[in-house]
Homo-oligomer: A and B are copies of this chain.
Amino acid sequence: MKKIPVLLMGCGGVGRHLLQHIVSCRSLHAGMGVHLRVVGVCDSKSLVASVDVLKEELNDELLSEVCHIKSTGSPLSNLGASGGCQVFNGSEAKRETEEIAKLLGKSTGLAVLDCSASLETVEILIKAVDLGCCVVLANKKPLTSTLEHYDKLALHPRFIRHESTVGAGLPVIASLSRIISSGDPVHRIVGSLSGTLGYVMSELEDGKPLSQVVRAAKTLGYTEPDPRDDLSGMDVARKGLILARLLGKRIIMDSIKIESLYHEDMGPELMSVDDFLHNGIAKLDQNIEERVKRASSNGCVLRYVCVIEGSSVQVGIREVPKDSPLGRLRGSDNIVEIYSRCYKEQPLVIQGAGAGNDTTAAGVLADIIDMQDLFP
Give me the interface of A with B, judged by CB distance under 8 Å: 21, 24-25, 28-29, 32, 157-158, 163, 169-171, 174-175, 178-179, 181-184, 323, 325, 328, 331, 333, 341-343, 346-353, 356, 358-359, 362-363, 365-366, 369-374
Contacts and interface: CB of A to CB of B under 8 A. Distances in A.
Contacts of A169: 178, 182, 184, 342
B349 A349 contact: yes
Nearest to A156: B33
Contacts of A353: 342-343, 346, 348
Given A174-B174, A349-B352, 15 more contacts: A24-B183, A171-B350, A178-B363, A179-B362, A179-B366, A181-B366, A182-B365, A323-B328, A333-B346, A342-B356, A342-B362, A348-B351, A349-B349, A349-B351, A350-B350
The quantity of this chain's copies bound in the complex is 2
B183 A21 contact: yes
A332 to B, nearest CB: 9
Contact of A328 (B328, B352, B369): B328
Contacts of A362: 179, 182-184, 342
A58 to B, nearest CB: 19
15 contacts: A28-B181, A171-B171, A171-B178, A181-B369, A182-B365, A183-B365, A184-B359, A341-B358, A343-B353, A346-B352, A348-B350, A348-B351, A348-B353, A349-B351, A371-B373
A372 B370 CA distance: 12
Contacts of A171: 171, 174-175, 178, 348, 350
Nearest to A21: B183
A249 to B, nearest CB: 15
Nearest to A333: B346
A78 to B, nearest CB: 28
A358 B328 CA distance: 29
Nearest to A338: B352
Nearest to A351: B349
B373 A32 contact: no
Residue from A25, A157, A169 having most chain B Cβ neighbours under 10 A: A169
Given A24-B183, A171-B174, A342 B370 contact: no
B28 A183 contact: yes
Nearest to A31: B248
Contacts of A373: 158, 371, 373-374
A298 B333 CA distance: 26
A243 to B, nearest CB: 15
A346 B335 CA distance: 12
Nearest to A352: B348
A341 B366 CA distance: 15
A369 B352 CA distance: 27
Which of the listed residues A158, A182, A352 has the most CB atoms from chain B within 10 Å of its own CB? Answer: A182
A168 to B, nearest CB: 8
Contacts of A181: 28-29, 32, 365-366, 369-370
Nearest to A325: B351
Interface centre among A163, A169, A178, A373 (most CB of B within 10 A): A178
Which of A157, A331, A341, A349 lies at the interface centre, i.e. has the most chain B CB atoms within 10 A of its CB? A349
